[in-house]
Amino acid sequence: MFGTGLLKGLGVTLKHFTETFIDDRRKEPSRYEGSIQVDERRRIIHQPISQEGLLTIQYPEERRLLPERFRYIPMLIWDTEAGEDRCTACGICAKVCPPQCIWIVRDSDESGKPITRPAEFYIDVAVCMSCSFCAEFCPFDAIKMNHDYELAVYDRYPQLVYDKEELTVPIEYYAALWPTQYAAEEAQRAKQKEEERRREEEKKKAAEAKAQAQTAGGESGVAKPKRSKEELEVLKAQAAAKAAARKGEEGGAETEDAEAAKRARLEELKRKAAEKAAQRKKESGE
Amino acid sequence: MSEATTVAEAPTIDSALPFNDAVPGAVIGVWAEETDKAYFVAPDKLLPLLTHLRDREQYDLLSSVTCVDYSAYKGKLRAGISERFDVVYHLYSTKKGGGPIRLHVRVPENETVPSATGVYPGANLQEREVYDLFGIKFEGHPNLRRVLTWEGFHGHPLRKDWKEAYYEEDAKPFKSRHPGGHYQWHEDKLPWGDNNTYPQGWDPDSWKEPVTYVPVSQAPYHGYGELDTQSIVINLGPHHPSTHGVFRMLTRVEGETILALEPEMGYLHRNHEKIGERNTWLMNMPFTDRLDYINSMSNNLGYALAVEKLLDIEVPERAQYIRVIMAEFTRIINHTWSIGFILNDLGALQTPALYAIEEREMILDLFEEVSGSRMMCNYMRFGGVVRDLTPGWVDRAKYLAYDRLPRALDQLDELLSGNEIIKARGRGVGYLSAEDLIALSVTGPMLRAAGVPYDIRKVEPYCIYDRFDFDVPTLPESDIYARYYIRLLEARESLKILQQALRDIPPGEVNAYASATLGQGFGTIMGGKGGYTFRPKEGEAYARIEAPKGELGFFVVSDNKPNPYRYHVRSPSFINLNALGPMSVGYKVADAIVILGAIDIVLGEVDR
């Protein structure tokens, strides 16, 4: 019949309208069921999957409850217990980052020796694509994904280039955002620690046993006689002569030998790598 | 062709024989290393061979045409290749099903390849793409001009020696980021204005875009009776809400009637494939999300399958089920979305579209819960998926698949299928015969709406689709209405698959190469330290899936390096646009909008 399509369409709209309207007139609309009231105006809405009717959330007063795995921008974890960054500046997150938006400068101690701590850590969040690879591949659980998505600023540079201070959060924050994953990681950590402790103890025991055996052996055995001063002098002179001889015949047979040795070592390394690869392949095939 | 090109002849000559009987001297070598049949073809014999394959061997669908620039190849397998370029064709059969025939045509620089458009009109856009990005000229192509970049673009970006603005290194990871790298703002390194170069003899000021593009310029002119009207050229788009993004339809119209229509795209082009070659294998995964951003899960799946083919790794049972579940949920999202926006294009602005995508929010909630993101899911990995489902997820998904989504689809059906306006505007509009659609390389719901039961899930099953009981719905009409209705039917079939998969999903590991616990960083992919970079064995692989929009294929070439040597996306949206012009001719301008809507394009995937 001509016109039924129109009536049907209007009917669906009317149904949606009345459902939402009636729901909104209730003292507590059904979309507030299971929500968290933060204060008088603000609440966090947990939208049940069976929610019917209009699904509008009155942002910014009302917000969605984000799932634990929600990922936005990375954050660095500050281990409050140990009082240090978990980050060791190994650079894996920078290497695995698809848009290459992580820059790390490794810290160094007074003598200039690099240490496992980042001096600078930048993420250009204007470039970050929220893939969470950095969090996935960090071997120290030092970088995780933050849930904070309100990052709007007036300028890209330097506001959207986050430095270490802006990125760092205490571990409690992470534990609150990612409770399940945090618990799983902590359990893993505890297990590892336990394992380490056990191994250490075993080592200690073994060392003690060895020491005991050695002291027992040392008592019965004869101590090695030390070289006399004259003998030492002779040895020194011999070594010096050898060194001089080596210096003298530059490019001689000996360097060729060294090269051959190098090659042999390379071959050995290659063989080992091939073995390892084969092993891995076998393992992965199972 | 020189002797050096036939790398692996002789041993498998008998499999090449059939074609050599029919077209002597066409196949000059067989690529022995590949899983699919791959033949080297002499360029001058390409067209006879293609004609033979189409007419006698039933390979009627030219799925993909692409090219590889071997000038920087470091691997050993193809060391003997003297020609720089290798044009790769993938042919499938919609009648026989099964795997492809892959043809390689080697061409040195500055030489031409005969255009396949005479045999397969669907080669049109793809050959233009190869010409645009590699600079290979196709002899006999009716309209060989740039398609993704603009006319003033200097160089051919997918050549290995072409470097982009802000070029840093050939491959990621870039050295400057590792411990010791300081932040640099890139805009400081290369001030604006200095990075523009134009082709020789090309002046940006004097250049005017010609409106005489083929076929718009060749449109027939005919006056209407005593009213001697003149046909005019109208630009639909690029900034127009009906074009689903930044897309232009160059039309020649006579009154309201379209005489010729030429799609113009590339406004969103970012050279996804070049980015993909700079990236490591893993890094491409989140980039695939951004292709067809409505269906990020199926994009992930297609790419994962291609690389898994190279890596030769198995996916655990549970992960297979999860992949299927995600892909089918994605299909429902896409089809309801597409239905809603066909309605939008018909003029039923926003309201039906909103009702159509209401349930999408619920599915996206589920996606967000497992993957952390609603649209850019980045959920699949080589060898499985990144994380297991959360507790209670399957129950919620079941509620959707058994209860809520069937109800929603019924409501859509009830609301729209009998509507007089949709029938009046849709029936008989945009007709193209099934043969034409296949010849134009169109795949997906459009082809099934023309009565061709061609669904890759059935004809060449991937993942575990062969275990599920579902039908491939077809409709014979091949018009707008059929294209609308087929999507509804397909969404119902997806529900069937979902219900079976959610019922049967077994417990177990979700990634064969994941470490034991969640978030234990190292080794999510291949196990052991450095799991984030790996080197697949040398070779090439083409994996295709039945994405909601059609055949989504990923063609990857590895030279045993941490980065893909070649990474090509055969995107359904782009190739389905071949049919836009032929479909629209003879209809009104308002119909052209709906015809485009029924092709269902996403510009992120068209322009790549």
**B182-224 tens-digit pLDDT:** 887 776 666 555 667 788 888 878 877 765 565 666 655 555 5
Confidence of residue A247 (pLDDT cuts 50, 70, 90): low
- A221: pLDDT strictly greater than 50: no
Contact B602, B245 (CB under 8 A): yes
More confident residue, A180 or B166: A180
Does ipTM top 0.95?
no
Beta bridge partners of residue A123, listed in sequence order: A102, A162
- A274: pLDDT strictly greater than 80: no
From the list A68, A98, A184, the residue facing B287 with the nearest CB is A98
Which of B591, B595, B563 has the alpha carbon at shortest distance from B578?
B595
Most confident of A149-158, A217-226, B251-260, B470-479: B470-479
Q: Which of residues 390-409 of B touch A (CB under 8 A)?
A: 390, 396, 399-400, 404
pLDDT of residue B6: 41
Instruction: Average the pLDDT over A60-74 and give the result.
Output: 87
Is A69–B390 a contact, with Cβ atoms under 8 angstroms apart? yes
- A47: pLDDT strictly greater than 80: no
pLDDT digit string (tens) for B378-418? 888 887 888 888 888 898 899 989 988 998 899 888 888 88
- B31: pLDDT strictly greater than 90: no
Report residue A160 CA to chain centroid gap.
22
Is B183–A103 a contact, with Cβ atoms under 8 angstroms apart? yes
Confidence of residue B527 (pLDDT cuts 50, 70, 90): very low
- B334: pLDDT strictly greater than 90: yes
- A263: pLDDT strictly greater than 90: no
Is A137–B177 a contact, with Cβ atoms under 8 angstroms apart? no
pLDDT of residue B229: 67
More confident residue, B361 or B217: B361
Name every residue whose Cβ is closer than 8 Å to that of residue B62 and which is 6 or more positions away in sequence. B50, B89, B90, B91, B116, B119, B120, B122, B123, B441
More confident residue, B45 or B213: B45
* Tokens linked to A81: 């217990």
pLDDT > 70: percent of chain A = 77
pLDDT digit string (tens) for B549-607? 999 999 998 888 888 999 999 999 999 999 998 898 888 888 888 999 888 888 889 98
Contact B563, B277 (CB under 8 A): yes
- B523: pLDDT strictly greater than 70: no
Helix B317-346 with B480-504: angle, nearest 10 deg: 160
Interface check for A252 against chain B (CB to CB < 8 A): the answer is no
Confidence of residue B488 (pLDDT cuts 50, 70, 90): very high
Beta bridge partners of residue B27, listed in sequence order: B41
Confidence of residue B492 (pLDDT cuts 50, 70, 90): very high
Q: Which of residues 408-427 of B touch A (CB under 8 A)?
A: 411, 414-415, 418-422
Whether cis (ω within 30° of 0) applies to the bond prior to A60 is yes
Most confident of A20-24, A154-158, B13-17, B478-482: B478-482
- B165: pLDDT strictly greater than 90: no
Closest chain B residue to the Cα of A182, Cα to Cα? B519
Is A12–B411 a contact, with Cβ atoms under 8 angstroms apart? yes
From the list B351, B418, B528, the residue facing A280 with the nearest CB is B528
d(CA A183, CA A175): 8
pLDDT of residue A272: 60
pTM for this entry: 0.82
Interface check for A85 against chain B (CB to CB < 8 A): the answer is no
Report the run of H or E that residue B37 belongs to, with start and end.
strand B37-41
d(CA B374, CA B330): 11
Interface check for B181 against chain A (CB to CB < 8 A): the answer is yes
Interface check for A275 against chain B (CB to CB < 8 A): the answer is no
Instruction: Average the pLDDT over A34-49 and give the result.
Output: 80
Would residue A53 be called left, alpha or beta, if left means φ above 0 and alpha means ψ between -120 and 50 degrees? left
d(CA A30, CA A22): 10
From the list A95, A120, A188, the residue facing B173 with the nearest CB is A95
Q: What is the mean pLDDT of chain B?
A: 82
pLDDT of residue B226: 62
CATH code reported for the domain at A74-170: 3.30.70.3270
Least confident of A48-52, A74-78, B151-155, B244-248: A48-52
d(CA B424, CA B428): 9
Interface check for A280 against chain B (CB to CB < 8 A): the answer is yes
Helices (H) and strands (E) in chain A, counts: 8, 10
Q: What is the identity of the amino acid at B503? A: R
Is A8–B181 a contact, with Cβ atoms under 8 angstroms apart? no
State the maximum Cα–Cα separation within chain A, in Å, rounded to a whole number: 122
pLDDT digit string (tens) for B446-478? 999 998 999 898 888 888 898 999 999 999 988
d(CA B76, CA B559): 8
Interface check for B272 against chain A (CB to CB < 8 A): the answer is no
Name every residue whose Cβ is closer than 8 Å to that of residue A190 and which is 6 or more positions away in sequence. none
Q: What is the mean pLDDT of chain A?
A: 78
More confident residue, B7 or A88: A88
* Tokens linked to B564: 């893909």
Instruction: Average the pLDDT over A227-243 and give the result.
Output: 70
From the list B172, B183, B387, the residue facing A161 with the nearest CB is B183
